[in-house]
Structure 1
Amino acid sequence: MCFLRGLPAALAAIFVAGAVAADQIGDRDAGEKVFSKCKGCHEVGQGARDRIGPHLNGIFGRAAAAHADYAYSKSMTRAGQDGLVWTIETLDAYIENPRALVSKTRMSFRGVKDPKDRADVLAYLRGFSDNPSDVPEAEPTARATDHDLDPAILALKGDAEYGEYLSSECLTCHQSDGSADGIPSITRWPTDDFVVAMHAYKRKLRPHPVMQMMAERLSDEEIAALAAYFKDLE
């Protein structure tokens, strides 16, 4: 039985040839555009850092949950212990449907169904795995300030215990385990990202009316407390 059966043709070709060059997976330039769907949680390229999800430099050939200093879900950690390694085949399956490969992953993403889009984004990511010590620059790692929030608000140190007390209203919609059922996960967010988002709702820059109402009722200290609590919530 051929183990390549069922793989997209662009992906099967790389196994037949035994090659790993990015341009033999898909179109890297097209893949950069597809990666825009991932930028809310992941960075790649020089200066990439962990955000809601780990950065993706050097992802190819790495065991699942093996990136140091990132707090993975128990399910992802277990998958790595069971031998899951990120290859063309496993990454393709994960990007198509994250929960098909890791059932309780915190990755709140419905997946990329188009085989060509998956092949293209894998070609793009492959370019940041060949030489992790000399990773090329990438637009997704740019961190230009996208808000004019007072730095003093971002500098507030939130009380996580107080945040837990305040969190019950948030958890009527959002899941504490980070899963998503049509409602985005808010666990493991960097505190700055959480605070900026909440103040954007407060200022009605983000359009969700319920979130606008919720944010408007919160003080700066309460938003900081919620950010501190959800940052480390397992």
Structure 2
Amino acid sequence: MRLVHVATIFWMALVGAVQAEENLVEIGDPERGAKMFKRCQSCHQVGKGARHKVGPHLNGIFFRPVANFQDYKYSKSLNAARTDGMIWDIEGLSSFLEHPKDVLPGTKMSFRGMKKEKDRNDLLAYLRQFSDNPQDIPEAAPTARKVEVELSPEILAIVGDPEYGEYLSSECTTCHQVDGDYDGIPSITQWPTEEFVIAMHAYKVKQRSHPVMQMMAGRLSDEEIAALAAYFAELE
């Protein structure tokens, strides 16, 4: 497999940012979410000129590493989550909003939680408006729930060879860090194998719109995708 030049990857990713997004399920109603944010604004700011208050500002929250600001004092639990590589993706944000102290025991956030899924979805849709590029690229930072490709049981049952996956992984690690750290590109280390396989096949059939990933996945066989999934699932 040939390596793709990093500059080419970057350029194609920018092209993908302006392409129409397909097969997305919108998060919620941002106008209603603005009303939901009133529960948060005593501690958090968002929008132009937002600053840290009791809690950090929420601009660019989507797919931001937990405890990311150097000028804000986080609780020990959030600092530990950052060390573990936790990212504020849409599912993580929703879970935290529902049960803050269950998701991150020891958090100093006093908010008891937002129990209704619709309320959380609408709030996230509102916050979504304050995430800048490149977070607009769904594959770089999911901000809408994607309807994934349905695979046959035979494809999902393929047991990948992690050693073969390591051999194939050089193209992946051109952009994704092996140690699982976040540097503007999401981690794929320790992904559950089935989720990895489904995502790659979604790129392969162009159900996910990122052009670089479509190109790479399109060159892989079912067995090669399974091997990559096995390799990255085992990385620590």
If the length of structure 1 is used for normalisation, what is the TM-score?
0.46
If the length of structure 2 is used for normalisation, what is the TM-score?
0.46
